[in-house]
Each structure stands twice: as C-alpha cells, then as structure tokens.
Amino acid sequence: MALSFEERQPSSTATQERFHSLDTVRACALLAGIVLHASMPFLPGFREIGWPISDTSTNAGMGILYFVIHLFRMTLFFIIAGFFARVLHQRLGSKGLMKNRLKRIGLPMLAAFMFIMPLSIIPFIWAARQLGIQGPPKMEFPVPVIGPMIPLGHLWFLYMLLVIYALVLAARSVFVFFDKNNSIRNTITRLVTSCFKTRIIVFFLASPLALVLFFASWWVQWQGIPLPIVGLVPNFPAVLAFVSAFLIGWLLHKQQDCLRMLAADWPLYFVGTAAGTVIALFVAGIKPNFYVIQLDTSARAIYAAAYTFAEWCGAFAAIGLAVRYIKIPNAKWRYLADASYWMYLVHIPILWGLQAWMLQWPLNWSAKFILSLSITSLLLLASYHYLVRSTFLGKFLNGKKYPRVKASIQAAEN
C-alpha cells in the first residue's frame, strides 16, 4: 500500500484531483486493524487454545465483528495500495517507485521489527504468567512455511507490499518489452473494465481464489485468507488474493470510470457482502474456530465460494460508498489518514499491554473492549501529534513534517 502521503498528487497536469475518498478508505482500513486486534481477547474459544491475552468474559458478537473485519479489510487495503502505487509510478517511474517504497515502507518495517516487535512480547508474557500458560498456543498454524520461521507479526503487510511491488514491476517490465504497442495490456484493461460494467467482476476475481482455497487441505476456513505472518515466502493463496487486489487498484487508477461504476453500484455490492457473509457463517458456524473444519465436499465448496464472493463485494462496497459520498477534503480525515500509519505500526504493545493489565478485572467484556480501545486510540493520537507529526519521524514515515500549530488551526476550521 502506498503509505506515504506525498504520492497523493499525480504529476500529470491533466489530473490534479486529490483522492480524498480513497485517503479516507486507506485510513479506515488501517484503523479497522486496531479494532480487529482489540476484539481478539473477547473471542469465544481463544483461551481454550492457549492464547494468553484472552478474557474469561467473551461474546459471540465479538467473533462476528472479527470475522466481518477480517473478511475484506486486507483485500481493500491492497486495492488502495495498487491505486496509489500507479499514482506514484506515473510521477517517479519504476526505479523511483521502488526506491520510494523501500524508504517509506522497507525502512519503517525494519525499525518497527527492531523496536516495536520486542515490546509486543512483554504483555504477551505478562498475560501468560497470569494465566499459568506455558508453551505456544495450540491453534493450528494456517499455512505451510517455506524457508526460515521468521515471525512478521502485524508487520507482515509491509513485507507483502514490498514483495508485490517487486513482482508487479518485474512483470510490467516483461510486458513492456514484449508488448511494445500495448495491445496485450489494452486488451486486459478492456476485459476487466467490461467485467466492471457487466457486474461480473466479483465472479471473475473470486473464482480462482475460491478454487485454490478449496483444494488447500490445510486451510483454516474461519480465519479466511491465510495471512503470511511467518516466513519470507508468502503462501500461494495470499499471493493470489493480494496481488489480484493490487492489480485491480492499479487498473482503477488507469480506468477511473470504474470508480464511478463502483460508486453507483455500492448498494449491490453491500448486499452481496451481507449474503456471502451469512452463507459462510451458516456453513462454518458463528463461533470462532481456529482449526481446519472438516466439511464435506459440497459444504467446503459453498464456504469457499461464499467467503471469497463476500470478500470482494465488501472491498468494492467500501470503495464505492466512499467515492459516492466523500467528494470534498476534510481536515480531520486528512489528519487521521496521516496518523493511521504510525497508529497501526505501534498499537500492538500498547493495546496488548492494556488488555493484559485488565485481564483479571471483574468487568464485562464490553467495558474492557471500550476501555482498551479508547485509551489505546488516545495514546496513539497524542503520540502522533506530539512525537511524530512535526518531527523527523513524520518525515521518516510520510515523507513530510507538518507544523503542529498549522495542523491545529486546520483541524479547528473544519
């Protein structure tokens, strides 16, 4: 995902539009991850598999919230990444894009891996000692790992982005070499645009992924797309899902009429998301399940089809809704979009620390969820405002420092 906000302004004088709607979607996709992680201690069955930060007070609704957010958030994330990658590519070219991404994504990833990841282990150990848990969780690891077992944790998406940038730019260079008159690329663009016009794009995208997941015997169905959180070689279903999303985002920037189609059709995609989600939960159950569910052939096929259908519908509904209704700049959302990168990178040790602290409190799950999420959000926003936005960290993450006084004035005016 193009996480540096300097890229939002295309270089072409013909396209001076700022994509305020997609800035908002980008912020929401990142911040939804914090909500997702805040819900985890209250999922039914988490303590039974030996996950340390798991509360005795649980709620089935938290499981459904987790399922729905997890369903399409990362697909949405990588669509927006592909969109803004093309914006940046038009300005900097392939070499400039890769250099920029290494600076804005690679270096922050390494910094977070050295400083944030070790801090994330502390509340994990603290919670385990409170519950007398020894050893790793009993949940099945959702994917065979090729190569060294390097834990990427919540930073996996940054590594995945770098892999996708490399793959897409390499593939593009091959196309440029063999397709000098753009005939193949134009044909592909027309085909995908036609799929948007005829509203079969979801079937076009979901079918290959559903097929791959259906035949992956190790697939933990309730967890959705198997995230490459361990190892340096991403699993094939994740590569297929997220490269496809990235390429769709790239095309959406190239053919912005498709954005207008999504804006018109967002209610249709919303209904598709709801229908697919209901069917998937009916087949797999509403209670979180962290093991491979033994389904018969037809049920497994229905679940794979319903899940991937809802995944793509959810991403398109979110983009279409934003494009339809967010048409003017908003300083508060712009500020939050700038802050969201920092907030997501550093939220785990703060959130887990609070949840480990509250583990033995005699409170209902709802109170702990609201408290931990609210305090974490306040601390993250305060740290961004005073420690990041106008300092070298702001430039390190977003390519630019913002004067603190000016930012406050802008926020007050809006």
Question: pLDDT of 90-140, one tens digit each?
Answer: 999 999 999 999 999 999 999 999 999 999 999 989 998 898 877 666 655
Q: Return the pLDDT at 409.
A: 41
For the entire predicted model, the pTM comes to 0.91
pLDDT band of residue 407 (cuts 50, 70, 90) is: very low
Does the structure show a pLDDT above 50 at 372?
Answer: yes
How far apart are alpha carbons 272 and 261 in whole angstroms?
Answer: 16
What residue type is assigned to position 177 of the chain? F
As given in the structure block, the two tokens for residue 70 are: 């997890």
**Is pLDDT of 411 > 50?**
no
Under a CB-based contact definition with an 8 Å cutoff, are residues 350 and 380 in contact?
yes
Q: What are the percentages of helix, strand and coil residues in the chain, rounded to 5?
A: 75, 0, 25
Q: How many domains does the chain have?
A: 1
| CA dist., res. 279 & res. 304, Å (int) | 10
pLDDT of residue 147: 76
Find the largest Cα–Cα distance for the chain: 68
Contact predicate 337/26, CB 8 Å: yes
Residue 321 and residue 318: Cα distance in Å, rounded?
5
Distance, CA of 192 to CA of 390 (rounded, Å) = 42
Structure confidence at residue 358 (pLDDT): 95
Q: For residue 131, what pLDDT is reported?
A: 86
Hunting for tokens 């649980």 — which residue is that? 58
Contact 77, 157 (CB under 8 A): yes
The 10 Å Cβ neighbour count of residue 393 is 17
User: What domain range is 371 assigned to?
Assistant: 5-413
**pLDDT tens-digit series, residues 279-312:** 999 999 999 998 899 999 999 999 999 999 999 9
Of 392, 259, 391, 398, which Cα lies nearest the Cα of 335?
398
Under the banding of pLDDT at 50, 70 and 90, the label for residue 142 is low
DSSP for residue 296: -
Region 374-390 average pLDDT: 96
Residue 15 CA, distance from chain mean position: 27
CA distance 353 to 403: 31
Summarize pLDDT for 73-84 with one digit per residue, the tens.
Answer: 999 999 999 999
User: How much is the pLDDT for 144?
Assistant: 76
Q: What is the pLDDT of residues 224-248, one digit of tens each?
A: 999 999 889 999 999 999 999 999 9
Give the separation between CA 359 and CA 57, rounded to whole angstroms. Answer: 9
